[in-house]
Amino acid sequence: MKLLRVGQPGAEVPAILDAAGRIRSLQGIVPDIAGQTLTPEGLDRLRAIDPNTLPELPADARIGPCVGQVGKFVCIGLNYADHAAESNLPVPKEPVIFLKANSAIVGPNDDVLIPRNSQKTDWEVELGVIIGKPASYVSEAEAMDHVAGYCVINDVSEREFQIERGGTWDKGKGCDTFGPIGPWLVTADEVADPQNLSMWLDVDGHRYQNGSTKTMVFGVRHLVHYVSQFMTLHPGDVISTGTPPGVGMGVKPAPVYLKGGEVMRLGIEGLGEQRQKVGHA
Mean pLDDT across 22-44: 98
Q: Is residue 32 part of a domain?
A: no
Distance, in Å, from the CA atom of 180 to the CA atom of 104, rounded to the nearest integer, reads 8
Mean pLDDT, residues 238-250 taken together: 96
Residue 158 included in any domain = yes
- Is residue 8 within 8 A of residue 62, CB to CB? The reply is yes
* pLDDT mean over 16-22: 97
What pTM does this model have? 0.97
Instruction: Flag whether 256 is in a domain.
Output: yes
Mean pLDDT across the stretch 19-23? 97
- In DSSP terms, 152 is beta-bridged to 127
C-alpha distances in Å from residue 63, one per residue of 164, 259, 262:
35, 25, 20
Model confidence pLDDT, tens digit, residues 74-99 = 999 989 987 878 877 788 899 999 99
The rounded percent of the chain whose pLDDT value lies above 70 is: 100
For residue 147, the enclosing domain spans: 67-280
Could you tell me if 88 and 166 are in contact, meaning their C-beta atoms sit under 8 angstroms apart? no
- DSSP β-ladder status, 96-99 and 73-77: antiparallel
Q: What is the CATH number of the domain that holds 159?
A: 3.90.850.10
- Using the predicted structure, report yes or no on whether residue 189 has a pLDDT greater than 90: yes
Is there a domain that residue 118 lies in?
Answer: yes
The H or E element that residue 207 is part of is: strand 206-212
* 3, part of any domain: no
**Of 38, 110, 31, 34, which Cα lies nearest the Cα of 71?**
34
Task: Specify if 23 maps to a domain.
Answer: no
- The reply to whether 56 falls in a domain is no
How many domains does the chain divide into? 1
What local confidence, expressed as pLDDT, does residue 82 receive? Answer: 79
Mean pLDDT over residues 230-248, rounded? 97
Q: What is the DSSP letter of 63?
A: B
pLDDT of residue 20: 97
DSSP 10: T
Report if residue 61 sits inside a domain: no
Mind listing the pLDDT tens digit for each residue in 119-164? Answer: 999 999 999 999 999 999 999 999 999 999 999 999 999 999 999 9
C-alpha span between 63 and 110 (Å, rounded): 9
**What per-residue confidence (pLDDT) applies to 84?**
79
Give pLDDT, residue 86.
82
Give the per-residue pLDDT at 199.
Answer: 98
Mean pLDDT of 32-45: 98
